Structure 1
């Protein structure tokens, strides 16, 4: 079976800002964030996973992560999350 790469967005309940990243192992990476093992989110805990998607290779995941950090990517996420949650507009 082919290895997937995951792009994910975490929401800080402390500062209400998002963190976007990518990984091969989403469960492990979320645990690392939650346990304070990731410097960039250590002081922003608690965190919740609000979005993720899979890519077939690392290059695609890297490009998608960069896109989701742009203005257009942020707007995409805002619209995407609004469709499944009444609070989606507050997540981005």
Structure 2
């Protein structure tokens, strides 16, 4: 069974990139070196590996990656910092009065 990883990179412009891979450290080096010209991270280097978690089921990893991509930067930062209690409140939409 192959392990898959979902990861978040913090880019030099303070944006976040989320991806899924089978080798998180190799993939991080590819982002850092600019291996894929024109990719999101190419002109936002250097990047920092801010978060990763492992999965034994690739389908679940892909589902989690898609979920994270929809999250706000504030919610991703809470996850990165381990502030799990803050996650539900960061999911709520703010309505104008």
Q: Taking structure 1 as the reference length, what is the TM-score of the superposition?
A: 0.76
Equivalent position of 1:33 in the other structure? 31
Flag as ranges the 4+ runs of structure 1 deviating above 4 A.
none
The alpha carbon displacement at 1:73 in A equals 8.9
Q: How far 1:69 moved relative to its partner?
A: 1.3
What is the count of residue pairs matched by the alignment? 81
Q: Distance in 1 between matches of 2:58 and 2:67?
A: 14
In the alignment, which residue of structure 1 is the partner of 2:16? 18
Q: Name the structure 2 match of 1:89.
A: none
TM-score calculated relative to the size of structure 2: 0.73
Where structure 2 has 5 or more consecutive residues not aligned to the other structure, the ranges are 84-97
Indicate the RMSD between aligned Cα atoms, in angstroms. Answer: 2.0
Residue ranges of structure 1 left out of the alignment (5+ in a row)? 85-92
